[in-house]
Structure 1
Amino acid sequence: MEISHELAIGIDIGGTNTKWGLVNHRGDIIRKGDLKTEGYPTFEAYIDALYNTLTPVMEEVEDGKTVKGIGIGAPNGNYYKGTIEYAPNLQWKGVLDVTDLVSEKFGLPASLTNDANAAAIGEMMYGAARGMKDFIMITLGTGVGSGIVANGHLILGHDGFAGELGHTIIRPGGRKHWATKLDGSVEAYCSATGIVITAKELLATSTQESLLRNYALDELDSKKVFDCAIQGDAIAAETYRFTGQILGEALANFVMFSSPEAIILFGGVIKAGNLLLNPTREHMEKNLLPIFQNKVKLIFSELREADAAILGASALVWEQRD
């Protein structure tokens, strides 16, 4: 059957919600929806709920079209084994045999990878990385994820877990990460959570007036920091300048590791636009050797944030095409 007649199911498993979509080879989402990830006594019960949700959707596929397979993006997803391994934000602990259970239940081939890697694949097929063989995808949200593509292939490592750039150390002995307990990781500074911590630190060490002082500290979130920054608040703006500095220094290291054509930034944090991008670019370039300077594009994702996880997961199906 020609690929134009085939559809893929993309599934993004999050700690609270699971998003799914029926996607064609052009990246058009024909149908989409979600269901709760939480609340099932076993992982098998969750797969049953997923099957019951998606079966009516697959039965409504128009004549002449067929579902080729299922792609899944998940935290701590192992591409080689098809397993989720010790994901801290899922209620089921240990190693979960995802692709075996899904394939058996649905009667379709299933592929799985880390959620950030899925986003990189989606960007390569449908977004800003179309035609690129060497790029790095950085997802800036509650955490910092990454997907590295070199010579047209994801870098997975011998065990499937390569590419955790968010947990590399950029400030040895620096800020302690709230979950990993590592000191000075990129995620501790450049995630939405890290941005809020920076804003609170600046408020505590300055007597300068700030719109941020209108909020109780426990009410402060990254959206409020952004809202204050675009109103010209100095402390909020400095929060983004400092975040961009840390991110730029980290990206310089990543550039000298894989010499990508581009670094693509994705996620809720990039809504800050040039408040984040300008200091990031400045500090990336100033920390590069001359042979790397002014060669790497630093751009924002072209994928819609709400759909990126579904598209990235569905792209796994086309990647597995014979």
Structure 2
Amino acid sequence: MARKPGRKAAALSLSPSLESFLEMLVAERGASLNTLEAYRRDLCDLEAFLSARGVKLQDAAGEDLRAYLTQLSEAGMAPRTSARRLSSLRQYYHFLFTEGRRGDDPALKLESPRQGRVLPKVLEEAEVDRLMTAAQQGNRPEDLRLNLVLELLYATGMRISELISLPYAAVARDPQVLIVHGKGGRERMVPLNESAADALGDYKDVRAHFLRRPGQERWLFPSRSASGHLTRHRVGQMLKELAVAAGISPARVSPHVLRHAFASHLLAHGADLRSVQQMLGHADISTTQIYTHVLNERLKTLVHGHHPLARGMGKPERNG
């Protein structure tokens, strides 16, 4: 009976080569703790599988790795998750090869699992307008904070982790652009539109309401949490409550959905792909290109739903 992937992986101590690989990710790529944990988990699972075959992680052959990928498939793992596992082991063995720890790269000829393209969920512009209208109804400090959170997410496309960790110093002088610290420690500049700037000014007038203990003053969005600032969980709750007030299913609204809306709406209005890539902080433009597929699908839906021929209207009559 095949062992399910993931079991007992965490019980294995890290091999020296794996430790070196993880250290490289931090030193050369500025990998975050979440990224490191994902690589560690993936490669420890592979190590557990190889150990059962009497093979050390560093010494695996191509056939060992193919057997591992086959086991993942037989265990019912989704192609997308299997593809991530494959990416992890490819980078690990490429590291060993380039560092001279192996004379070959056993992952070089491995085939990626077939997977369908999953398009991101996107809100329509009219739905974002409804969210904006609902967020502007109150004048309590909590209302003004929520309005700014929504404005910043939609106006800049920031990740939720980037938003909640914004320092107050970044906005202290009413900036026209925000300097955002993204993945891998990379910085990028994102312009603020007039609506977001107005929401920022309104919130700054009431921000002192949320300052409850020393240390919180450094954050734009201070809170009672252990970190001293709003948590991603709390922001998610706030947006879902706002969705209900706007008459939108809360399941359709999240910080990441607003990031998708930011990108797809920009492209729909003529923004070039490279500019959107820079504002989103994508290292690879292929990641940004997914939004062109979103637009294509929306165009297909528009044609099928509204073109006269698609509705069976206006079909030419056949003679005879």
Structure with the larger helix share = 2
Max radius of gyration: which structure?
A: 2
What is the TM-score when the length of structure 2 is the normalising length?
0.28
What is the TM-score when the length of structure 1 is the normalising length?
0.28
Structure with the larger strand share = 1
Ranked by relative contact order (alpha carbons within 8 Å, sequence separation 6 or more), the top structure is 1
